[in-house]
């Protein structure tokens, strides 16, 4: 059985969320962050949250 379009979109969002999480973890593993790196972490976290919100719309359970 072929996955539905919503399932495919959910999986794409899940993968993007995981990649963003990996980038955040990598940056946060540094002992010190520059102002630019701190801004990047905030931006990445906002993007992660947006992906999570989109995922919840597709699968609210």
pLDDT one-digit tens code per residue, 4-53:
999 999 999 999 999 999 999 999 999 999 999 999 999 999 999 999 99
- The boundaries of the domain holding residue 26 are 5-58
Q: How far apart are the C-alpha atoms of 53 and 51, rounded to whole Å?
A: 5
Residue 1 has pLDDT above 80, yes or no: no
Q: Which two tokens stand for residue 33?
A: 């962050």
| pTM for this entry | 0.87
Q: Which two tokens stand for residue 7?
A: 């399932």
- Looking at the structure of the chain, the number of domains it has is 1
pLDDT of residue 18: 98
């Amino acid at each position: 059985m072929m996955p539905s379009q919503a399932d495919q979109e959910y999986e794409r969002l899940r993968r993007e969320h995981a990649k963003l999480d990996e980038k955040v973890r990598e940056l946060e593993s540094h002992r010190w962050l520059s102002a630019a790196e701190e801004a990047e972490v905030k931006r990445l976290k906002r993007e992660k949250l947006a992906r999570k919100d989109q995922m919840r719309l597709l699968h609210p359970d």
